[in-house]
Chain A
Amino acid sequence: MISAERKPFGEIKASIRPHRKILMVGCATCVAECAAGGEKEVGLLASQLRLDAVKEGREIEIKEMTLDRQCVYEFIDQVTPVADQYDVILSLGCGAGVQAMAEVLPKIHIVPALNTTSIAETREAGVWLEDCRGCGDCKLDYFADICPVTRCAKGLFNGPCGGSKEGRCEADPDAQCAWQLIITRLEETGRTASMDEVYPPANWARKQGKGPRKIVREDQRA
Chain B
Amino acid sequence: MSESRLKKVLGGGHFAVTAECGPPKGADPEVIRKKGRLLAGYVDSVNVTDNQTGVVRLSSLAACVILREEGLDPVLQMVARDRNRIALQSDVLGASALGIRNILLLSGDHQSLGNQPEAKGVFDLDSMQLLQTVRQMRDKGIVLGGDQLSSMPDLFIGAVENPFGDPRSYRVARLAKKVRAGAEFIQTQCIYNITRFREFMAEVRDRGLDGKVAILGGITPLKSARMAEYMAKSVAGMDIPPELIDRIKAVPAKEQRREGIKIAVETMEALKEIKGVRGVHIMAIEWEEVVPELVEKAELLPRPGG
Which of A160, A172, A184, A202 has the largest number of chain B CB atoms within 10 A?
A: A160
User: Is B126 a contact of A158 with CB atoms below 8 Å?
Assistant: yes
User: Is A201 a contact of B107 with CB atoms below 8 Å?
Assistant: no
User: Is A192 a contact of B129 with CB atoms below 8 Å?
Assistant: no
Answer yes or no: B132 CB below 8 A from chain A CBs: yes
Interface residues on A, range: 20 to 34
Q: Tell me the bound Cα distance from A199 to B129 in angstroms.
A: 7
Interface of chain A, helix or strand or loop or mixed? Answer: loop
User: Is B85 a contact of A201 with CB atoms below 8 Å?
Assistant: yes
Q: Tell me the bound Cα distance from A158 to B126 in angstroms.
A: 7
**Given A162-B165, A163-B237, A164-B167, A170 and B123 touching (CB < 8 A)?**
no
User: Is B129 a contact of A201 with CB atoms below 8 Å?
Assistant: yes
**Given A165-B236, A192-B173, A201-B85, A160 and B167 touching (CB < 8 A)?**
yes
Quick one: which of A14-37 are within 8 Å of B by CB?
Answer: none
Answer yes or no: B170 CB below 8 A from chain A CBs: yes
> Among B112, B126, B161, B173, which residue has its beta carbon within 8 angstroms of that of A157?
B126
Extra pairs beyond A154-B81, A155-B123, A156-B128 (10, CB < 8 Å): A155-B121, A155-B126, A158-B177, A165-B237, A167-B167, A171-B113, A196-B176, A198-B177, A201-B129, A201-B133
Chain B residues near A (Cβ < 8 Å): 80-81, 85, 107-110, 112-113, 121, 123-129, 132-133, 144, 160-162, 165-167, 169-170, 173-174, 176-177, 180-181, 189, 236-237
Chain A residues near B (Cβ < 8 Å): 153-167, 170-172, 177, 179-180, 183-184, 187, 192, 195-196, 198-202, 204
21 contacts between A and B (CB under 8 A): A153-B110, A153-B121, A155-B126, A156-B126, A158-B177, A160-B170, A160-B174, A162-B189, A162-B236, A163-B237, A165-B165, A166-B166, A167-B167, A180-B167, A187-B169, A195-B170, A195-B177, A198-B177, A198-B180, A200-B129, A201-B85
